[in-house]
Structure 1
């Protein structure tokens, strides 16, 4: 059985362990290396075992050792699962509730949230994303989880959901498979363009991408938690580096801050 694990100095373990909470990592971590810290928040360099094929939320698996940290940086989850309690926790959403055992659900979003291009993160955007997942031509790896939804926008922050069959665990399904939302302005350009020029409502936005080498993310000026001083990092750099031993040496020598890998547990 494979489990995600991080190999890096103990002082950095807590930032990742919350664990493997990509959200906590990218939104609240501070660069710990002295050469990386700066007056505007510092930077953090993470090593990844492979480059992203794309950065859209449709054709990527939400796996911590590959694209999950990058997706969390770009999009922020609507809902997440607390690693300590296993409970579904709202984030960009204020709530997702059912009053009839899962036959119908109502999603409430935080008001005033913007995507990094300044457009509104609203119920129409969520509806557009889930309908995009369900279209065969999208080739979404999460298509099965959005199939059969009847979606009605009640107002800018309210989406009524009727699944194809009563589902008392729909909140968990959404937190696991449908939690990241791309800006409709990016979807208007097509899935391929949205994957290479992503627009989300997360703490960071993509500044540059050198294929096979590195991605550089910088603060989203419209981030909904900027008044709280988040994200604390000014820049997140993800470098492609498939060799685990070299990655460990890079972290130990201070050339990188952390990396994530998979280990086999006996």
Structure 2
């Protein structure tokens, strides 16, 4: 994820007309999107609640469905410039204790519910009430909306890195209609604003499908694949073997010994560092990090194999 820096007291992303749907690619020059990205996930995927997801596979799957307010998005095929996500601008007060966010217009959750100020207020209330959210935003004390399309975050102290905090995948926005008991729990298959939505869920397997109404598609941001299939594979050796055998295109959390073996295959590569190592088939493009909260809308498949 890209750290967002505060400059000249105003945080502002993007330029020009973002709603024209234009990309850097010439007409007809962009490869065709499609296919299924298969991932050997580390551990079971039992919860897709972005705030409560605990395992790497859960966090990776949840991030594709639920977007945080602050992000920088780039499209597949390496042909789209980076664009701001749900909040094109975030401006602090002179004292740094109030941050005002301007919401991207025309965004909807996958169930058709609009992403408006009321939806953000509902999510912010949940963050402040739930221990996991309060730990991520310890200085947040109140949230209101001075007018439609604007959300104001009131802090108990100046926090220059507040935009970085809002970038956490755990703070992915959930449709308010899916919240139960004031947000203490979510209904099954709760809607998000992300590039994918839950299609199937069964023990050991989770299938995400392209969100046909995703706001980023009209800006050329993808998704580059039609589906993402995450399969639970408990041990690192088995995940590495599935990658080597061509059963998956990505194998999560390999560990150094398995990663060294994977890297010896000319059709495979390893992405990451000591924190996490992700095995990737070279037919996959756009994976530049092993972070478990990375968006995968900018990933695409080639015909290398």
TM-score range, shorter chain: 0.7 to 0.9
Q: CA deviation at 1:47?
A: 1.1
Q: CA deviation at 1:226?
A: 2.3
Q: CA deviation at 1:40?
A: 6.8
Q: Secondary structure at the match of 1:126?
A: helix
Structure 2 partner of 1:130: 124
Q: CA deviation at 1:152?
A: 1.1
Q: Secondary structure at the match of 2:144?
A: strand
For 1:251 and 1:178, how far apart are their aligned partners in 2?
A: 28
Asked whether the 8 Å contact 1:208–1:217 carries over to 2, the reply is yes
TM-score, normalized by length of structure 1?
0.72
For 1:251 and 1:66, how far apart are their aligned partners in 2?
A: 16
For 2:170 and 2:250, how far apart are their aligned partners in 1?
A: 27
Render the CA deviation track for 1:131-188: whole Å, top value 9, x for unaligned: 11222xx4x4222334542211123321011112222221111113664100111115
Is 1:256 the counterpart of 2:256 in the alignment? no
Asked whether the 8 Å contact 2:46–2:58 carries over to 1, the reply is no
For 2:141 and 2:148, how far apart are their aligned partners in 1?
A: 19
Larger Rg: 2
Asked whether the 8 Å contact 1:102–1:170 carries over to 2, the reply is no
Greater fraction of residues in helix: 1
Structure 2 partner of 1:221: 212
* Aligned mate of 2:152, from 156, 160, 169: 160
Structure 2 partner of 1:244: 236
* Aligned mate of 1:110, from 91, 95, 104: 104
Is 1:44 the counterpart of 2:59 in the alignment? no
Structure 2 partner of 1:27: none
TM-score, normalized by length of structure 2?
0.64
For 1:204 and 1:189, how far apart are their aligned partners in 2?
A: 26
Structure 2 unaligned spans of 5+:
3-31, 74-82, 257-273, 276-305
Asked whether the 8 Å contact 2:239–2:254 carries over to 1, the reply is no
Is 1:169 the counterpart of 2:130 in the alignment? no
Structure 1 unaligned spans of 5+:
1-17, 20-38, 83-88
Aligned counterparts, 1:38-187, within 5 A = 41-61=34-54, 65-80=56-71, 90-135=84-129, 138=130, 140-146=131-137, 148-176=140-168, 179-187=171-179
Distance 1:51 1:203, change over 3 A: same
For 1:54 and 1:124, how far apart are their aligned partners in 2?
A: 25
Q: CA deviation at 1:190?
A: 6.8
Q: CA deviation at 1:92?
A: 1.4
Distance 1:189 1:125, change over 3 A: same
Asked whether the 8 Å contact 1:207–1:216 carries over to 2, the reply is yes
Render the CA deviation track for 1:6-42: whole Å, top value 9, x for unaligned: xxxxxxxxxxxx89xxxxxxxxxxxxxxxxxxx8711
For 1:230 and 1:177, how far apart are their aligned partners in 2?
A: 19
